[in-house]
Structure formats: structure tokens, C-alpha cells
Chains A and B, each alone.
Chain A
Amino acid sequence: DQQVKQNSPSLSVQEGRISILNCDYTNSMFDYFLWYKKYPAEGPTFLISISSIKDKNEDGRFTVFLNKSAKHLSLHIVPSQPGDSAVYFCAASAPNQFYFGTGTSLTVIP
């Protein structure tokens, strides 16, 4: 029973264009959402997060949007760069509950 879902296993985008990665969740008790980036043979690294009381958080080229009514969040990367090519995991948490999505592999084509 996947509580956090990333329905797109892969995404390819041209350099300079926008990348949009999507994530859906089922548990309305989740109160904090995070995106992690993972390169091959490395552990995931934190990218950006958002509290459930907000609907948008921005950090440089990265913006996360949260739609609580739809139980949906998305990560926008603009402009996309070749170094952004990695697997992106979304994660959701409530006190002592932590769930990750299955990941989306982003390829940015030069």
C-alpha cells in the first residue's frame, strides 16, 4: 500500500526548459513534505521541503508546490541543467511516520 506515489518512473527534458516532477499521497495526516535528489552509488541528499501550512516554497531554481485538497505536490526545476540529471524522491512525514515515493529518474539533455 503505497502512501506516497510517483507515477512517472522517468522524465527527459531539454536543457534550459522546465522540469516538473509530480507526487501524490494518500494520508491526510502528513504534515511535512520533502524532495530528495539521488545520484548513482550515493545516498539521497535533501533538496527542498514544504510544510502543510504552505502551498509554495522556492529555493533558487527549485520550487515545490503543495495542493492539499488534491493530495498532490510537484517539484519545478527551471531552468533545467545537465547536472540536475538524477533520481528524485518525494517524501512525506507525520510524527514518527516517514514514507518515500518510488522515485523519478530525470534526464536533462544538453
Chain B
Amino acid sequence: NAGVTQTPKFRVLKTGQSMTLLCAQDMNHEYMYWYRQDPGMGLRLIHYSVGEGTTAKGEVPDGYNVSRLKKQNFLLGLESAAPSQTSVYFCASSWASGGSTDTQYFGPGTRLTVL
């Protein structure tokens, strides 16, 4: 099992460019999440999905869009990148929400720099 994988691992964008980050999981998890990690800020939830075809906003959703067309994939899109979106992005998945099913499994991260 690969667990949770993220593509790409690194990316440099210019302000205004767009890109999509891909997350894939092979654990048949229902829930998937996108976080960003910034110095001194910890992990902040951007968007999450409770199942195929569903998405919901997290703590810091502005400037991002997501899609969950297939259960195993969760895409994070930046339509017009800004320097404030320079961050490390982590994808995670879990069985469900509530109790022990809340345990989230994380991917290795994508380091994004917006110039």
C-alpha cells in the first residue's frame, strides 16, 4: 500500500499562474483533507471532503478550490496564485469523522513557492 501520495513534491509559480495539486489514497478512506503548514501557524485546514462528490470549506478556504470526482483522489486548485499561498501543503485521509476514525494519514507534502 502506498498510503497517501501527493503530486508534485515541489513547485515554483509566478503570481497569477494556476496549478492543481493531486492527492491520492489507496486505503478506501471516505474523508480527505487539504492542509497548509506555515511557520508558527501549525496545520490549517483548507478544504475537506466527506465522500466522493462532496467538498466543504475548512478554516482557510479563500483562494483555493477542490474537487473529489473519485473516492481515491482529492484535487486542490489555485486559480490565480499569490505570494501569500507560499506554503507546504499536506493532504490527509481518514475512515470517517468521530472517535478513532478521526485518525488522519498524511501524505509527504508539496512545497509551493509563489514569486
Binds B, one of A13-21, A44-52, A62-70, A71-79: A44-52
Residues of B that sit less than 8 Å from A by CB = 4, 33, 35, 40-45, 48, 50, 56, 58-59, 90, 92, 97-100, 102-109
Measured between alpha carbons, how far is A46 from B104 in the docked complex, in Å? 7
Shortest CB distance B92–A (Å): 8
A23 to chain B: closest CB distance in Å?
11
Asked if A95 is at the interface (CB within 8 A of a chain B CB), the reply is yes
Please name all residues of chain A whose beta carbon is closer than 8 Å to the beta carbon of B50 when the two chains form the complex. Answer: 96
How many A-B contacts at CB < 8 Å in the complex? 63
Give the size category of A's interface with B.
20 to 34
**Chain B contacts for A45, CB-based, 8 A:** 106
Least Cβ–Cβ distance between A12 and chain B, in angstroms: 19
Inter-chain contacts of B107 with A (CB < 8 A): 43
Is A100 interfacial (CB-CB < 8 Å)? yes
Q: List 7 A-B contacts (CB under 8 A).
A: A32-B100, A49-B102, A96-B56, A98-B33, A98-B48, A101-B42, A102-B40
Contact A46 B33 (CB under 8 A): no
Q: Which of A23-75 contact B (CB under 8 A)?
A: 31-32, 34, 36, 41-46, 49, 51
Residues of B close to A44: CB separation below 8 A: 43, 90, 106
Cα of A46 to Cα of B98 in the assembled complex, Å? 16
Contacts A89-B43, A102-B41 hold; do A49 and B33 have CB atoms under 8 A apart? no
- A98 touching B45 by the CB < 8 A rule? yes
Least CB separation from B59: chain A residue: A99
Q: Say whether A100 contacts B103, CB under 8 Å.
A: no
